[in-house]
Amino acid sequence: MATEMRGEPATKDTGKERKPARKRTAPALFVRQVIAELRKVIWPTRSELINYTLVSLVFVLVMVGIVAGLDWALQQGVFAVFG
């Protein structure tokens, strides 16, 4: 038959089995864990931070220029077509 399978027959899932409930973390333990994770972070130096900031600002300004240029070109095209 088409319903036969190799190996063990499939068991019927009745949904009666429950997963164990999650236990909440105490607020104090959560704060200790956050502080422990923040100690693992490699913080950038001042020069790295300035460099990353400048690169981000230049990228944003370039993107603004591209979008403004496309907006202007499309506006000119619409004005040329529709007067």
Region 64-68 average pLDDT: 98
pLDDT of 80 over the 90 cut: yes
Q: What is the dihedral of CA 22, 27, 30, 32, to 10 degrees?
A: -150
Residue-level pLDDT at 60:
98
Residue-level pLDDT at 75:
97
pLDDT 10s digits, 1-47: 566 666 666 666 666 677 777 788 899 999 999 999 999 999 999 99
In the chain, domain spans: 44-83
Residue-level pLDDT at 1:
52
Helical segments of the chain, H only = 27-40, 46-82
Contact at 8 Å (CB) between 18 and 10? no
Region 52-61 average pLDDT: 98
Q: Which residues, in sequence order, are CB contacts of 52 under 8 Å at separation 6+? A: 44
Q: What is the pTM of this model?
A: 0.54
